[in-house]
Chains A and B, each alone.
Chain A
Amino acid sequence: MNRARLAAVLAAPPIPPIGTREELIDLLSAAAELEHAIMCQYLFAALSIDRASPELSPAGTELARTFTLELLSIARQEMEHLGIVTNLLIAVGAPSDFDRPNLPLQANYYALDLPLRLVPFGDEFLALAVRLEESISDSRAQRALPYYPTIAAIYDRLSDGLQHLGGPGGPLETTLFLGANDPQISNADFGATPTQVWYSLTLLPVTDLKSALAAVELIRVQGEGSTASDPDSHYAIVRAIKAQWDALAPAERAAMCKPVPPNPVTRQRGDVDPLVTCCVLRDPRAVKLARIANRAYELILLLLARLYGKSDATDADRDVYRKYAFFPLMTIVIRPLGEILTELPAGDGEHCATATFELDGPIRTYPDRTSFNIQLGERLSHIAAELAEVAAMPEVPARVQFVAKNAAYVRDRVLAYVTTGKTEAQP
């Protein structure tokens, strides 16, 4: 944060405690957008690690894999946090919020003293990650600040607000959880037990004050740890990565990092921090693939928005949305494209290309199933057609064809459902 901005922030009065449902919803929305943005930061950094460099020793290659694995695992838990915060939003009667502003984000956007930008793996990223996950040393003093010094401070305020509003004698003691019975996503949706860790995820449902506080606590514990020495917390993991990274020889460090640019975008944008330099991708293959990846990412968010809260979606619709949001789109489209992009040049003569995680419009919640399902088919058709187009371009990694083939197959399966209204399990 620059000095003038810092002075302005410090001169502001402390952030007041949550006193109404709308203030609670506003802060939950901010938390959802933050978890979402942080997930992108981790994914971006993980995709920038070179796991296959011939310059790496066997131990170095294994370490590169471990770093990637751990960052992807944290990213999945940030997704889990987004899911849990969404359950909280639904439970208190609000719609989901799968939208977020594009990165890099202006400092203090959420009254948060943390940079939110896409930084490739390395010193800068690790310093940022430690700050993202660090705990509050004196939570009482920090509740009086005019900004949030850590993510954990936001959850402290949410916890206080939930207890104030919905606790014994609170103004919303009997009405806070208006949406307790509305659809949420929990482990049960994947056949897992309520507390089973499912691909590093524990999606807690929220129905009352006790479960709401447990949900907030889970997010806090996974981030900063139940104790200062909790080895499973994100804070401990990123500190351990940093210690291992710091101990590496410079040549090994260099070999582990792809030349990924910070803050990549597919076009000049007016909705990002103007004070931060962005790298505009120029290579036409990279631009096209990055935009397809962004469209697939946007589609996942639209599917998630249809899964949470009251809607006219049928059980069969929900099965289809769940089936395609979690596995195929994430695993066979977005991650492969993120990896393929780093095999292409950015077009600036210096960097390789990379995923940009841009959203070109708000993530809308569609009220009508017929309209949504038709648009779902259309969007998948566009993604499949554009992938086929890129696959036919010269000097494109062969892996694009595999992604294109599978995207086309997903399109066909979804279109079959949209056309017949029946899943394969239905007679």
Chain B
Amino acid sequence: MSVIVCSFTGWVQVRLATNPDPTDEPRGVSGYTFALAGEPDLDRMLRTSNPVAPRTHGQPIGVFVRRVTVDGVAVAAHPLIGAQLDLLGSPMFESVNEVVMEQGEEPLEPFDVQLVRGAFRLQRRAFLDPSTPAATVYTVPRSVLATRRAEVALDTSVLQQAYGTTDPSAFRAARLHVLQADLRDATDPVQRAALGRRISELEITDPNDHRTVSMTFIESRHFDLNGPTALVDPDGWLATLDTFQTFACDAVMGAWDADTLTAYYTGTLALPTR
């Protein structure tokens, strides 16, 4: 038996309201995230592709397999390198103003992974309770939910990996500078209103403020993909995939940029083979 480990990195978009706004606040008021003029309402979804109203100066959204190892040995020409990783089913961070779990530690649900490259497609979900596929964060026992609790750390390692900086304040100051220049050139009233809001948020420079501190939040989650496996593998890349075992997926989110509602997403997906 071998284990193929796909390491992925990329950028995700999360258009969610933040405390102390209610979780279902559509535009953002008292938190530090907002739907801007011309943008649709916030929807809480984590998007790994097809971003909604992507903002200027944000990173391109997309998560891809960058490296593959087989039993710990890198395979430079593995066909899964370059595969796109998507999270299906509109995953959301389910803290719900700490009704369900403390912010940052909350479960991401559903967690339904898809890898696609050309005609190849692998998809499998981590059900909260595989015996009750319709179970939600509201219906499973708290002990089950606890297995989905994220580990949270505050440091600049992911920020460094994502942006090559360890200084969130400097990052925000540079963005402010760019947006101020954009505003000088902007004539469209919708664009000006949107830029005005972004600028006013970036002008909040307190290093202890959530806007800055959250750039160093690192949320690590572990999932056991335990649902039925859907595999379309015309070239037999995963011909010996063992679908009777769960697939372990470890995912880390960090470098959260509240200005563009994007974050760096990295992790591994382990695929056991027979």
Contact = CB atoms under 8 A, between A and B. Distances in A.
B146 A331 contact: no
A409 B145 CA distance: 13
Contacts of B142: 413, 416, 424
Contacts of B27: 51-52, 65
A362 interface: no
- Where chain A touches its partner, the secondary structure class is helix
A406 B27 CA distance: 20
B264 interface: no
A410 B20 contact: no
B99 A332 contact: yes
B37 A409 contact: no
A61 interface: yes
Looking at A58, A59, A68, A335, the one whose CB has the most chain B CB atoms below 10 A away is A58
A65 B34 contact: yes
Interface string B1-27: 000000000000000000111111011
A269 to B, nearest CB: 29
A51 B206 CA distance: 27
Interface in A64-99: 65-66, 68-69, 72-73, 76
B189 interface: yes
Given A58-B189, A65-B29, A196-B208, A330 B20 contact: yes
A413 B97 CA distance: 14
Contacts of B206: 197
Nearest to A196: B208
Nearest to B142: A424
A416 B30 CA distance: 31
A199 B24 contact: no
A58 B99 contact: no
Contacts of A366: none
B98 A51 contact: no
A62 B193 contact: yes
A72 B38 contact: no
Contacts of A197: 206, 208-209
Contacts of A69: 29-30
Nearest to A331: B97
B196 to A, nearest CB: 6
A4 B75 CA distance: 92
B189 A328 contact: no
B193 A199 contact: no
Interface in A186-221: 193, 196-197, 199
Interface in B186-229: 189-190, 192-194, 196-197, 200, 206, 208-209
A332 B96 contact: yes
Contact of B100 (A68, A193, A402, A409): A409
Nearest to A199: B20
A311 B197 CA distance: 46
A100 to B, nearest CB: 22
Contact of B97 (A61, A328, A405): A328
Nearest to B35: A65
Looking at B21, B99, B209, the one whose CB has the most chain A CB atoms below 10 A away is B99
A119 B106 CA distance: 38
Given A405-B138, A410-B99, A62 B20 contact: no
Contact of A68 (B19, B29, B146): B29
Contacts of B96: 328, 332, 406, 409
Given A62-B196, A331-B21, A409-B100, A57 B30 contact: no
A413 B138 CA distance: 11
A58 B38 contact: yes
Given A57-B189, A65-B29, A406 B99 contact: yes
Contact of A59 (B20, B97, B193, B209): B193
Contacts of A336: 22, 24
A410 B97 CA distance: 11
A369 interface: no
A58 B22 contact: no
Contact of B29 (A72, A332, A406, A413): A72
Contacts of B38: 58
Contacts of B24: 336, 399, 402
Contacts of A364: none
Interface string B26-42: 11111000100110000
A58 B192 contact: yes
A52 B37 CA distance: 11
A332 B30 contact: no
Interface string B152-176: 0000000000000000000000000
Nearest to A334: B22
Contacts of B30: 68-69, 72-73, 76
Contact of A58 (B28, B29, B190): B190
A327 B97 contact: yes
A199 B19 contact: yes
A58 B190 CA distance: 5
Contacts of A59: 189, 192-193, 196
A267 interface: no
Interface in B54-89: none
Contacts of A52: 26-27
B138 A335 contact: no
Interface string A260-291: 00000000000000000000000000000000
B22 A331 contact: yes
Contacts of B138: 405, 409
12 contacts: A52-B26, A58-B190, A59-B193, A61-B37, A65-B29, A196-B208, A197-B209, A323-B98, A328-B98, A331-B19, A331-B22, A424-B142
- The 8 A-B residue pairs with the shortest CB-CB distance in the complex, in nearest-first order: A58-B193, A58-B37, A331-B97, A327-B98, A62-B193, A332-B97, A58-B190, A72-B30
Interface of A: 51-52, 57-59, 61-62, 65-66, 68-69, 72-73, 76, 193, 196-197, 199, 323, 327-328, 330-332, 335-336, 399, 402, 405-406, 409-410, 413, 416, 424
Given A62-B193, A65-B197, 10 more contacts: A52-B26, A59-B192, A59-B196, A62-B37, A65-B28, A196-B208, A327-B97, A330-B20, A336-B24, A424-B146
